A and B are shown apart, each in its own frame.
Chain A
Amino acid sequence: MADSSVRFDRVTVAYQQMVGIENVSFDLKPGEFLGIVGPNGSGKTTVLRAVLGLVAPAAGSVQVLGASGHDIVHVRRQIGYVPQRRPLDPQFPISVREAVAMGLYPALRPFRRPTADDRRRVEAALVSVGLTDSADHVAGHLSGGQQQRLLIARALVPEPRILLLDEPTSAVDVTTRFAIVELVRRLHAERGLTTLYVTHDVNEILPCVDKVLYINRTVRAFGSCEQVLNRETLEALYGGPVILVEEGGRRYVVVGDSHA
């Protein structure tokens, strides 16, 4: 298992005597794309927080890039994290470029200014997400989709090996949603990232994922799309009948008479 990028071994995480996740095990190899699905409060975000080392398992072990326990802190700078988006304060005095550059700050020693190489990485991240033209805009003035791109750019600046995304398409319109999914798919492929992508919408991740983790406190299913996204699992996930549609070589999930 030494070649694992992320490995959960019977992990239980509790918050104030409330169980967040229980006995969760899965294994991801470098460069794999994992979709994490489950209902609200099922522990999807807790999985990401455990990868970041922000919550300590009450039982079991989490290994990230070979580190476990307190040592995860030492590999945290190799993990890019895109949190659930909250609208940025439109009056906060900071430009898009400055906000993206914050991805560098944890590695900067006191009094040290970003180097030319650091600035190059910021510009590269802005180019990657298509925000070059908005680099001098006030960060909080961006649209919802652009703010999401900003958060992705910030996560990319340290040139991470693992990318965590927590519902990156929540609160954006349908066009923007698919643009962001396509951006993540492209970044994952170009940079060989190990990607963990939390979402409610299975259709969103179907074109990208290598593996799917369906979680509801405990692991309900884990494996390839074909193994996990069968009618039985999907009906449990959505709490009702679903229809699987094959179109142009792609599979879509329809819940009841509405699109999932």
Chain B
Amino acid sequence: MLEFLRYGFMQRALLSSVIVGTTCSFIGVFVVLRGMAFAGSGLAHAAFGGVALGFLLAVNPLIAAVLFCLGTAGLIQVASRRAQLRMDAAIGVFFAFAMALGVLFIGLMRRYDARVYGYLFGNVLGVTQGNLILMAALGLVVIGAIGLLYRQLKFLTFDEEMAEASGLPTAALAGLLLGLLALTVVVSLKTVGIILVEALLVTPAATAYQLTHRYGMMFVLSWITSVASCVAGLVISYAVGIPSGAAIVIVATVVFALAALFSPKRRKCKVCGHESGA
């Protein structure tokens, strides 16, 4: 059963799935509760520009993607705060710009390199030792920052206006969240790819949201769902011979559907008797 773990590439694939599943599950709680799904999608597309730049300049495409995503996140934050533009409009402007740069960089390459397109759908079996180290480092930064500012981010997410009135630096915290989201996108690029990363940013946390009324428990359930979906998807893709990114997302979506179907939130609240009407 576990014979596939004898292969080095499968061990790296499994480890990368756990890293990606963990990182996405934690930031995903904020993506779901703060309505940042479009930001996740936008930053994922912005990563394409960074990957293309990396191949054009012959530097590590993940490093280039980190810089590109963080730059795009910064531009979105500045545009939405300083130009008083709605966040979704700012995202729309800059993710299309970053994608256009990606297309431009590909056009500037002297010869066609199919590896660029590998980042669109991910290739978990192609994760290298170097990729793993970078993913683990970025994942630790994301999880460490969330742990460091757990309560402050909770207040920001629940009631941003009150958090600001209470003296929390809400603009800085919101910008930090966007930056952490950008790093998470890069962590996930090799495993699920630009197109499918959105699913891991949203689906496990959305599943947890169906199952609990407790904020802390939402992180736990999101993590369990996410890592389980990543590992199960990887194993299924190996057993059946289908693309791993797609398998991971399909498993996560099935779990979400089951959670939504049997969500205790659809029943009368056991504590106070409140009926959601959902």
Identify A54's interface contact among B148, B149, B151, B164, CB under 8 A: B164
How many whole Å from A114's CB to the nearest CB in chain B?
8
Given contacts A92-B33, A111-B148, A141-B269, contact A83 B161 (CB under 8 A): yes
| A-chain residues with CB within 8 Å of residue B276 when the two chains form the complex | 90-91
How many whole Å from A145's CB to the nearest CB in chain B?
15
Please determine whether A136 and B158 come into contact, CB atoms closer than 8 angstroms. no
| B-chain residues with CB within 8 Å of residue A122 when the two chains form the complex | none
Contact with B along A62-103 (1 / 0, CB 8 A): 000000000001001100010100000011111100110011
Q: How far apart sit A110 and B278, CA to CA, in the bound complex (Å)? A: 37
Please determine whether A93 and B167 come into contact, CB atoms closer than 8 angstroms. no
Chain A interface size range: 20 to 34
Given contacts A92-B158, A93-B215, A99-B158, contact A106 B271 (CB under 8 A): no
| A-chain residues with CB within 8 Å of residue B165 when the two chains form the complex | 52, 54, 76, 81, 83
Given contacts A94-B215, A137-B272, contact A102 B155 (CB under 8 A): yes
Please determine whether B272 and A138 come into contact, CB atoms closer than 8 angstroms. yes
Please determine whether B147 and A102 come into contact, CB atoms closer than 8 angstroms. no
- Which segment of B47-55, B100-108, B109-117, B206-214 sits at the interface? B206-214
B129 at the A interface (CB under 8 A):
no
How many whole Å from B142's CB to the nearest CB in chain A?
15
Q: How far apart sit A81 and B167, CA to CA, in the bound complex (Å)? A: 11
A134 at the B interface (CB under 8 A):
yes
Please determine whether A111 and B147 come into contact, CB atoms closer than 8 angstroms. yes
| A-chain residues with CB within 8 Å of residue B217 when the two chains form the complex | 93
Please determine whether A105 and B166 come into contact, CB atoms closer than 8 angstroms. yes
A127 at the B interface (CB under 8 A):
no
Please determine whether B272 and A102 come into contact, CB atoms closer than 8 angstroms. no
| B-chain residues with CB within 8 Å of residue A93 when the two chains form the complex | 33, 209, 212-215, 217-218
B132 at the A interface (CB under 8 A):
no
Please determine whether A105 and B152 come into contact, CB atoms closer than 8 angstroms. yes
Q: How far apart sit A39 and B98, CA to CA, in the bound complex (Å)? A: 47
Please determine whether A103 and B215 come into contact, CB atoms closer than 8 angstroms. no
The listed residue with most A CB atoms (<10 A of its CB), out of B148, B154, B278, is B154
Identify A83's interface contact among B162, B168, B212, B269, CB under 8 A: B162
Please determine whether B167 and A137 come into contact, CB atoms closer than 8 angstroms. no
B159 at the A interface (CB under 8 A):
yes
| B-chain residues with CB within 8 Å of residue A54 when the two chains form the complex | 164-165
| A-chain residues with CB within 8 Å of residue B82 when the two chains form the complex | none
Contact with A along B239-278 (1 / 0, CB 8 A): 0000000000000000000000000010001011010101
| B-chain residues with CB within 8 Å of residue A137 when the two chains form the complex | 269, 271-272, 274
Identify A105's interface contact among B151, B218, B272, CB under 8 A: B151
How many whole Å from A188's CB to the nearest CB in chain B?
20
Of all chain B residues, the one with the shortest Cβ separation from A96 is B272
Residues in A lying within 8 Å of B, measured CB to CB: 52, 54, 73, 76-77, 81, 83, 90-95, 98-99, 102-103, 105-106, 108, 110-111, 134, 136-138, 141, 154
**4 shortest A-B CB distances, which residue pairs?**
A141-B274, A76-B167, A137-B272, A106-B167
Extra A-B contacts (13), CB below 8 Å, given A91-B209, A136-B271: A91-B265, A92-B33, A93-B215, A94-B158, A98-B154, A102-B159, A105-B154, A105-B155, A106-B167, A108-B151, A110-B152, A138-B269, A154-B162
Residues in B lying within 8 Å of A, measured CB to CB: 33, 147-149, 151-152, 154-155, 158-159, 161-168, 209, 212-215, 217-218, 265, 269, 271-272, 274, 276, 278
Q: Could you list some 21 contacts between A and B, CB below 8 A?
A: A52-B165, A81-B165, A83-B162, A83-B165, A90-B274, A93-B217, A94-B213, A98-B215, A102-B151, A102-B158, A102-B163, A105-B154, A105-B163, A106-B155, A106-B166, A106-B167, A108-B152, A111-B148, A134-B272, A137-B274, A138-B271
